Amino acid sequence: MRLNQLDGGGGGSQQYGTLKVEQTDLAAIGDAAFKLHQRLSTDGDHAKANTQEAGAAMKQDFALGPALTTVAEKWRKQVDTLLDACGHISNHLEYSKKTHADDEHTFATRFKFEQLDKGFEERAQH
């Protein structure tokens, strides 16, 4: 088994950097993560509340009551973990978008100044 080969014979000499992601793709992922965060925050609370109510109602007469309360607590922890992940994805994509836009502006400005300096140097030599 070789991990550095693709189906069809590719291998270690393959060119890297063929992945291309458009800004619209990143925006769509960030938007989906944000919407999932909002929806899960609301819907996850409904499920927890209903399960806790059922657990409390059954607490006196059934052994299932305390078990449902435990399920509700674990459910909330899992929902919180997923909410954190969605928030992280959305925030990271926004941060990345801004950072890359700032980097692009910096590089473009530097390139313009380098070209300007080069033009001055060429005129000075004549």
Task: Say what the pLDDT of residue 31 is.
Answer: 84
More confident residue, 125 or 26: 26
Ranges of beta strands (E only) in 45-93 are none
User: Residue 117: pLDDT above 70?
Assistant: no
Per-domain boundaries in the chain = 23-125
- Lowest mean pLDDT: which of 50-54, 109-113, 116-120? 116-120
Tell me the pLDDT of the chain averaged across its residues: 76
Measured distance CA(123)–CA(41) in Å, rounded: 64
CA-to-CA separations, 97 to 51, 64, 103, in angstroms, rounded = 40, 49, 10
Measured distance CA(34)–CA(32) in Å, rounded: 5
pTM given for the model: 0.52
pLDDT > 70: percent of the chain: 74
Residue-wise pLDDT tens digits, 46-102: 888 888 888 888 888 888 888 888 888 898 899 999 999 888 887 777 777 777 777
